[in-house]
């Protein structure tokens, strides 16, 4: 293998990807594929910490793959696979569970958050989720994991587990680093602009799904929360301008223009004109992606063949790590 670093990333197929996912992460990943060996997984095992409708989960898993490709991530240059198609993830997770402390897991912010939102189903999988995530990453001797700030805590516990295991058994795991997205694409909710745009938001008007109809996208932007001031101006840290700040960030991200330059275009103009232009810019960004997605979804065999090929590669790479771990802990192999 050449000296390119390894990137591992995965997204749960538990809801539709949003404009925030695209601008904050996926679009940047397209540029990474030239300089890194990239491994992308559809994390279906992680999704079942919350009850799923089986047919919907299967459909969304293939939709997620199709969206990755439609956004420009090349299946010939990167490894794509479905997490549950590689049993090494669950196998390593069990071993790592035995090297992870209860106190560490109890401190996880996501566990506290999901426990409060799913009080009727606080299951063991929800509690040990970070260990499976550590397994996902460590299996591939990963150098970098693209994450948002809200996921850095999981990278930290992954590093702690790996270092603990290495301190006992020697140099088994590469210690991964989180790769934060470049500044400038932190997309917020359209209805509560002090909160991050989320695919799990119960209010569909709060986020733009990458699978939304173009007319729906335009309508959501035009109904986005703003303020009564009527001035298109970016004021960082000013919650009263959070809605306009967010729309300016979106416009800047989809056009590639500086936020101040965008704001200057609307000096003396009202929010109606501004929102209409933001809507048009976002629609024109999403339109070709949606067209390619629709074309790919017609050919399910093409998508499942990519998954099969990717799973084979993933099993081969991860198998080396798992065999080393099994030997180190004393299993007969």
What are φ and ψ of residue 5, in 5° steps?
-75, 160
The H-assigned helical ranges of the chain are: 19-21, 27-32, 44-47, 54-70, 88-97, 102-106, 109-117, 124-138, 152-169, 214-222, 242-255, 259-265, 271-298, 300-329
* Residue of 199, 205, 309, 324 with catalytic role: 199
Give dist(CA 12, CA 129) in Å, integer.
12
* Residue 178 bridge partners (DSSP): 145
C-alpha Rg value of the chain to the nearest Å: 21
* Residue of 4, 5, 112, 114 with catalytic role: 114
In the residue annotation, 114 being an active-site residue is answered as: yes
- Give the number of C-alpha atoms closer than 13 A to the C-alpha of residue 134, restricted to the C-beta side: 30
* Residue of 4, 112, 182, 196 with catalytic role: 196
* Residue 144 bridge partners (DSSP): 7, 177
- Packing angle between helix 124-138 and helix 88-97, nearest 10 degrees? 110
The count of residues in the chain is 333
Give dist(CA 176, CA 279) in Å, integer.
39
Cite the active site residues. 114, 196, 199
């Amino acid at each position: 293998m050449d000296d390119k670093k390894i990137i591992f990333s995965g997204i749960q197929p538990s809801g539709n990807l949003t404009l925030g996912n695209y601008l904050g992460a996926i679009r940047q990943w397209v540029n990474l594929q030239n300089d890194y060996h990239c491994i992308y997984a559809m994390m279906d095992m992680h999704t079942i910490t919350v009850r799923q409708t089986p047919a919907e989960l299967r459909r969304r898993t293939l939709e997620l793959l199709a969206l990755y490709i439609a956004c420009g991530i090349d299946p010939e240059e990167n490894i794509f696979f479905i997490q549950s198609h590689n049993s090494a993830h669950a196998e390593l997770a069990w071993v790592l569970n035995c090297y992870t402390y209860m106190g560490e897991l109890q401190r996880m912010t996501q566990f506290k958050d999901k426990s409060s939102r799913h009080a009727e189903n606080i299951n063991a999988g929800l509690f040990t989720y970070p260990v499976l995530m550590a397994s996902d990453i460590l299996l591939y001797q990963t150098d970098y994991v693209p994450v948002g700030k809200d996921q850095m805590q999981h990278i930290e516990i992954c590093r702690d587990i790996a270092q603990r295991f290495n301190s006992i058994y020697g140099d088994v795991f590469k210690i991964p680093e989180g790769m934060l997205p470049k500044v400038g694409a932190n997309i917020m909710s359209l209805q509560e602009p002090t909160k991050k745009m989320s695919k799990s938001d119960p209010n569909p008007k709060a986020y733009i799904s990458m699978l939304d109809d173009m007319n729906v996208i335009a309508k959501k932007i035009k109904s986005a929360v703003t303020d009564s001031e009527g001035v298109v101006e970016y004021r960082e840290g000013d919650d009263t301008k959070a809605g306009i700040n967010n729309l300016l960030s979106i416009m800047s991200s989809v056009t590639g223009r500086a936020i101040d330059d965008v704001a200057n275009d609307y000096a003396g103009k009202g929010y109606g004109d501004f929102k209409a232009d933001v809507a048009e810019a976002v629609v024109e960004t999403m339109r070709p992606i949606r067209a390619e997605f629709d074309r790919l979804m017609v050919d399910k065999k093409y998508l499942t063949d990519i998954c099969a090929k990717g799973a084979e590669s993933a099993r081969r790479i991860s198998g080396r790590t798992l065999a080393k771990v099994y030997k180190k802990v004393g299993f007969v192999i």
